[in-house]
Structure 1
Amino acid sequence: MTFAPQLKIPATYMRGGTSKGVFFKLDDLPEFAQKPGVERDRLLLRVIGSPDPYAKHTDGMGGATSSTSKTVILSRSDKANHDVDYLFGQVSIDKPFIDWSGNCGNLTAAVGSFAITNGLVDASRIPKNGTAVVRIWQANIQKTIVAHVPITNGSVQETGDFELDGVTFPAAEVQIEFMDPASDEDGEGGAMFPTGNVVDSFEVPNFGTIQATFINAGIPTIFVNAADIGYTGTELQGAINEDAEALLKFEALRAYGALKMGLINDIEEAASRQHTPKIAFVAPPANYVSSSGKPVRAGDIDVLVRAMSMGKLHHAMMGTAAVAIGTAAAVPGTVVNLAAGGGDREAVVFGHPSGTLRVGAVAKQVNGQWTVTKAIMSRSARVLMEGWVRVPQD
């Protein structure tokens, strides 16, 4: 019996923030995969090694976690005042689907670097030395992101001394600006606060009635108080990810929250929309020891935050969820703002399982509606491997 040879596709394996994924130029993909659809999804699933009932991704490029089961497709942008279009796919580990409903804020840090290195940014916009400003159109959520990429001798500078909790080694700092990160009236889920309130009483099976903030900023996110669901906010991954009952309860909370946010019309739809919304629980500052063994002092942070991603507690913090945290912290009366001590603030330092992170956001009311013009954070990125990825033609 004769089998077809493997496809050989140019690709780059990159780390961006606390995530990593396989990056492609759109026109490097096989013609059948240059447009959305089942065939593209099947190809990318095979690249990552999903679905994998063993949850190891042994036969693919994925890392069998929500942070490492990711794909990115980039192309020159034909949108005015933008350099590159960025499409992100969150690949399920054990199911045959890719969620295209949201962005990956961490991998955003690698988009500018890839775009420059692969000729997707006009040479006139790249200084000999200094910082290249890359204007990114995030195609999943229809938003603008601006990446400030360090350049040395005309090339992307990847090495440096910037340290990011959740990443083992230092690298060059890349500042990311998420422009107008909250959904507008035409965006998915409606306004920044889709229920019209900064905090709601929310009833969920197995949890009862709890206080929640539903927000569309960076990524649709549901914030609840850790104490209301039986946690302290200092938990590490094992405390939740090894508790099957807890994971089921969090999924129920996410599903009912998606319904309340208007992201789905029926509770059953949540199963095919795993990437959004995110669930995060918050608490006032407290001392704890991070997953690396590094002590985090209550006096060094404003608030504790733990977030769920693709059904598991994230090892650090998703970049888009960090935008939601910064935005919610800037609005008086939200669950996040109150856990951080209340009042007005334009930046927040939060504690996550791997350490701490600072994110800034400026929120204001316009005609009675809350809006945020920009959220800012720093990340780092580097190429791990480049060349070709091989994919069986099945």
Structure 2
Amino acid sequence: KRKRGEDLPRSPSPSVLDEQGTKAKRAKKPENGANEEEVPTKSSDNASAQTAPVTENERSIFIRKCPDEITIEEIEAYYNQLGAGTVETVRWGSKHGTFKGFGFVVLKSKDLVPRALALRPPKVAGKQIEHYACAAGGKKDAASKTKQQRQNGDYPAGERELFLGKCPDGITEDDIYGHYAPLGDGAVQSIRWAGGNGAGFRGFGFVRFKDPETRYEAYSMAPPRVKGRTLDVQEAGQVRTKDELFIGGYKGLGITIEEVKKYYEGLLGADCITRSRDFTDEDGTSRGCGYLAFKSKELMDRAYQADRPVLGGYTIKVEWPGNKAPKVVGGPMKRELQLSSCPESMTEADVQSHFAPLGAEAIERINWTKRRDMCFVVFRTVENRDEALKLGNL
């Protein structure tokens, strides 16, 4: 076992094909219309495929952004927290003896791959590593950001990502992992910064979650605040179907998606909603967000234009799908109003009601301080914020 930086032997990536596999040759088409049988037939090919053993590639995970200081022992120790002997071997990507910053962790069984990916990727020598499932094409497919099935689940990358804007210099992966830690281990799959997290940093990045449900729950949380700056969090991809609305912001409030459904049924009719979905953890606890699918686009539009549900003194968050949300214009600090000396009885419903003349979609979010004596109202545009100032104090 060698430490990175030492002379490394060339190591092949896990092979997609079984070493004993052979490639069938198709017989030439008989001349003069002769009725001769071609071999091998498709049925025989399918039969051999069904009995093919699990390949090493299917038992492997691809790791990248590895520092030169990384060692096999560190990787083995990290993934062996799933159980002794979890890691069968580690192979490094190298060319002419030079380490290339990536490798393959071959696990004992295919069933261990999703469990390994559920772990937060390891961090070595202060550098955050990324890990992915190996796709059918080996290293190239596993590293490609355009492949939709490289991780556990068949979700397009955009449906699992949030955009992080207005990020200050010096922001770290730990800031983001720490903020979303309440979502559970493995909730955040990877974080990438535009231009890298160094001199070329461009002030924004993307955080990828394990599935769309976790992404939606993260979106319903208050945005991260790093080095005194509130990040601008936006959905990175289109969400769900055209007749659905995202419902959120009720985690831990004793409110259910069925109560929200009843609210809209009272407004639009008992048959206005065709289905509802509440995202829950494995133990059945609500994640505080979900979807309502309406019978028609017209009903969905009417639901969105209606007053937001106020249940138990809390205003429920109702959002368009990502491809219909009104565009946010301007940085969050330029679109923000600070409300101070807020009384204990003040609720989000009071704030929404005060700014209602600006329109149902004027407010992007309301961020409360822990003591709830102050809040920051973030509008969708600078113009909305300027119009809000003209309304005076609450």
With normalisation by structure 1, the TM-score equals 0.26
Structure with higher Rg: it is: 2
Structure scoring higher RCO (CA < 8 A, sep ≥ 6) equals 1
